[in-house]
Amino acid sequence: MNTAPLATDSLETWLDYWGHVHVTGIDLGLERVIPVAEKLGVTRPDAKVLTVAGTNGKGSTTTTLAAILNAQGYKVGLYQSPHIYRFNERVKLRGVEVDNQSLVDAFVQVDQARRDCSLSLSFFEATTLAAFVIFKDQACDVWVLEVGLGGRLDVVNVIEPDVAVITNIGLDHTDWLGDTIEKIAFEKAGIIRPNIPVVFGGLQQIPQAIIDKADACAAKLYAVNRDYFYQLSEHGQSWMFASSGTTLNLPLGTLAVENISTAVAAVLLSGLTVTQVAISEGIQNAKLQGRFEIRQIQNKTVIFDAGHNPHGVAFLLNQLRNFLKYNKQYTEVVSVFSMLADKDVKSVTELLKDSIQTWKIAALTVPRAAPIEQLDQALQGQHVQHFDSVKLAFKSALDETKNNQLILVCGSFHTLEAVWEYLEECQ
């Protein structure tokens, strides 16, 4: 086994170490993880646990959950993945990213535990367990956990949740999770446990696999548009949440109402004491990089969205149309665009084509990047401009965009990351 870094080594050194300890980056299954998690004493936390799975919207839902519970005064540990800019984004305490040394100290514990068990851990497994170690050591009242991939075999599922949330089911990661909605739903439903509330926030027919798992566990299933409802006000400035015996008038936040309402439903079912004031405050505090994030850069309006599959992009389009409806000064959209080769590039571009007038494309600089030829082929017949890098594509967009044009950066987390790096360099 590799020689482990020391507690005095940098976070980067440790992250590099975890990237090389195990043979593969993704290795679904809990056989290796459970003994290590038990050794670390994290499998049964003395805290309320809310676990969120789903194809899209997990980040917005977990962010909103944590923000509401933080506003109520709970000490909340929030675990999310992937990060966009800094690894520390994955682990937050009371809404603040943990510092490097806290992560390193947790990595030391995880590495010792895996060695004691004579087991190897993937990067994702080791880093997730480190988050749990931090939440345990910090005696958090509530753990809000975002599932990385699937549910049933994801490392997050070593923790028994008190509330299970499934945001929606779409076709993504089909190589790992299956090639039908039902197969993917079966994997996501793996987070359901006996006798706990389960929230399904998808605006679709509830997959049978989720119904079956909830029935088998005697877990009460609460679905949007059946057991709870939300509706925007006519002027689009507030919205109403309604469930059996509860009606709340709530402010709009920066995140999508579909995901905010899923979070509100989960909070109300959690058994935690939460006031309407805390719910409203949390919604307004909930911010997430790269989820229809609107920024002003050099007097240009730029929207960042990390949607990278057809379901996520359909969601993005819905928000874009709403934005354009209330901001009629924008008559054209210019997109800085790139994707990963193993994503459904054709379907994503097909969805976006009618809404984007100019495409500025470049290949990403990551191993799974879609080559420029693949992007080009998917955009046949469109007004496309080629660049050597995403950074140069974005610089061009800033330099050339007119007052009636909106800049949309989308296609992948990596596309957003490249632009943020460029903006950092410009400061």
The per-residue pLDDT for range 95-152, each reduced to its tens digit, is 999 999 999 999 999 999 999 999 999 999 999 999 999 999 999 999 999 998 778 8
pLDDT, tens digit (0-9, with 9 covering 90-100), for 382-412:
999 999 999 999 999 999 999 999 999 999 9
Q: How confident is the model at residue 26 (pLDDT cuts 50, 70, 90)?
A: low
Q: How confident is the model at residue 239 (pLDDT cuts 50, 70, 90)?
A: very high
CA-closest candidate to residue 272, choices 155, 144, 175: 144
The pair of three-digit structure tokens given for residue 42, joined into one six-digit string: 């994290």
On the question of pLDDT at 312 being above 90, the answer is no
Q: How far apart are CA 83 and CA 104, in angstroms?
A: 17
On the question of pLDDT at 179 being above 80, the answer is no
Mean of the pLDDT values across residues 354-365?
96
Q: How far apart are CA 372 and CA 42, in angstroms?
A: 45
The pair of three-digit structure tokens given for residue 297, joined into one six-digit string: 């850069």
- Give yes or no for a contact between 396 and 324, defined as CB atoms under 8 angstroms apart: no
Task: Reply yes or no: is the peptide bond before residue 197 cis, omega within 30 of 0.
Answer: no
pLDDT, tens digit (0-9, with 9 covering 90-100), for 288-301:
888 888 999 999 99
- Give yes or no for a contact between 337 and 361, defined as CB atoms under 8 angstroms apart: yes
On the question of pLDDT at 174 being above 80, the answer is no
pLDDT, tens digit (0-9, with 9 covering 90-100), for 207-237:
999 999 999 999 999 999 999 999 988 777 8
Task: List alpha helices for 299-383, DSSP H.
Answer: 310-326, 345-352, 372-378
On the question of pLDDT at 189 being above 50, the answer is yes
On the question of pLDDT at 1 being above 50, the answer is no
Tell me what pLDDT residue 28 has.
63
Q: What radius of gyration do the chain's Cα atoms show?
A: 21
Q: How far apart are CA 196 and CA 164, in angstroms?
A: 7
Which residues contact residue 8 at a Cβ distance below 8 angstroms, ignoring those fewer than 6 apart?
A: none
Tell me what pLDDT residue 254 has.
86
Q: What angle do CA 131, 132, 133 make, to 5 degrees?
A: 90
Mean of the pLDDT values across residues 49-59?
94
Q: How confident is the model at residue 33 (pLDDT cuts 50, 70, 90)?
A: very high
Per DSSP, the three-state class of 209 is helix
Backbone φ and ψ of 152, nearest 5°: -55, -45
- Give yes or no for a contact between 303 and 375, defined as CB atoms under 8 angstroms apart: no
Pairing of strands 91-93, 163-166: unpaired
Q: How far apart are CA 420 and CA 154, in angstroms?
A: 29
Interhelix angle 100-116/33-40, nearest 10 degrees: 110
| Best mean pLDDT range from 27-41, 95-109, 310-324 | 95-109
pLDDT, tens digit (0-9, with 9 covering 90-100), for 56-70:
899 999 999 999 999
Q: How far apart are CA 423 and CA 426, in angstroms?
A: 5
